Amino acid sequence: MKKLWLIFAQTTTVGLAVWFLLTLLKPGWIPKQMADVVTLREAPAVEAPVHLPGNISYREAVRHAMPSVVNIYTSKEIKKRRHPLLDDPLFRRFFGDRFENSESQRTSSLGSGVIVSEQGYIVTNNHVVASADEIQVALSDGRTTTAIVVGADPETDLAVIKIDLPNLPAITFGQVEKLNVGDVVLAIGNPFGVGQTVTMGIVSALGRTNLGINPFENFIQTDAAINPGNSGGALVDNAGNLVGINSAIYSQTGSAVGIGFAIPASTVKSVMEQIIKDGAVTRGWIGVDTQDLTPELAASFNLAEGTEGVLINGVVRGGPADRGGVKPGDVLVAVNGEAIHDFNGMLNLVANQKPGQEASIKVLRGGKPQEYKVKIGKRPPLASDPGEE
């Protein structure tokens, strides 16, 4: 028996070693059904930013990243409201059908995107491709092709489209958690349709929220010039690795004023993988309307100084929280043991819960802690009230 066990252990060890060598040296030999859905490139972790020797130049970073950034052209048909006079028999008698074709027109728009996988997946902003009838993608090497929409997530303003071309230059994902205020970043895109353009700036803030742009916000703020057409383009570090997708600007004129916002690459990767796998992003929901707990509100509820959480203003009738026993006026302080500090923290914490699973909800009611079991529901698309979760 001991001899048989020794033979089995040796065979298993040899098999694992062969499998490791195949995955390392000959990944193409592995059956496709065993491979990942999508292959991404990721930069190795580094403790310090990359410094280029000699004269400061970012040409190597641009050379590395620019081929992965594409120009996106979309078109769609817009239905115009039909004037009631066109349905008048007398009017039609004199003018006939000459106005029949004036009820619709085609509009076009432009944006940018980033090739994230050699399999043809491209990440861009949802607002770039939303409702488009046709999507054309132009690569930096001169190739053009049509694209299909794999899926979109309006709540983060991200979308994934796919093209079918060989030898696609996929971008390398950077270590966005290593990004700091003051780091140099480059924005690559197609502003105003003039063609691929690179601008430079620094990270001026991290974790920007409460901007009213998207329900889920965690923006990288940069002063790199971002203009119309840059949407969906790449924000890269000084090594050319992707750290964000350019999404919006703060401007009263529509042009760059030195405040641009990019969606972090970590969020991009998470949303993209869900879209590729399931066609959409699924988030948790408990059905409560909340607001941040200010010191004044805490004092009015006789809560201890320094109490953190969110005040529940309303509970959706028949929703998960309502069925679990949560009531308006409760102060939500923790979900599954994780403390809640503000509304955005609560929003993300609840959204990360898997629908159908049971969660422990801790609240303060009349200043006393209470705990309820709530079965997490599926978040409805684009809740009308930004304070609803």
Give the Å distances, CA to CA, from 209 to 220, 294, 345. Answer: 10, 17, 10
How many angstroms separate the CA atoms of 217 and 92, rounded?
53
Question: How many whole angstroms separate alpha carbon 79 and alpha carbon 225?
Answer: 34
Parallel/antiparallel/unpaired status of strands 144-146 and 331-335 = unpaired
Q: Is 270 among the catalytic positions?
A: no
322 classed as catalytic: no
Per annotation, catalytic residue among 68, 153, 157, 322: 157
Q: Of residues 68, 112, 127, 330, which has the active-site annotation?
A: 127
For 389, the 3-state DSSP assignment is coil
Q: How many helices (H) and strands (E) does the chain have?
A: 8, 23
- The DSSP secondary structure of 155-208, one letter per residue, reads TTTEEEEE---SS--PPEE--GGG--TT-EEEEEE-GGGS--EEEEEEEEEEEE
**Residue 221 CB partners (closer than 8 Å, separation 6+):** 203, 204, 205, 206, 208, 259, 260, 261
Max Cα distance, the chain (Å): 102
Q: Which of 68, 231, 237, 330 is catalytic?
A: 231
Strands 234-237 and 219-222, how do they pair?
A: unpaired
Nearest alpha-carbon partner for 360 in 378, 340, 388: 340
Token pair recorded at residue 131? 């409702």
Contact 350, 219 (CB under 8 A): no
CB-based contacts of 15: which residues, under 8 Å, 6+ apart?
A: none
Euclidean distance between CA atoms 227 and 140, whole angstroms: 19
Q: Are strands 172-173 and 41-42 parallel, antiparallel or unpaired?
A: parallel
Query: What span, in angstroms and rounded, lies between the C-alpha atoms of 325 and 49?
Result: 50
Tokens read off for 46: 């580094």
Beta bridge partners of 236: 186, 242
The single residue listed with the structure tokens 């580094």 is: 46
Question: Catalytic annotation on 157?
Answer: yes
Q: Which residues are catalytic?
A: 127, 157, 231
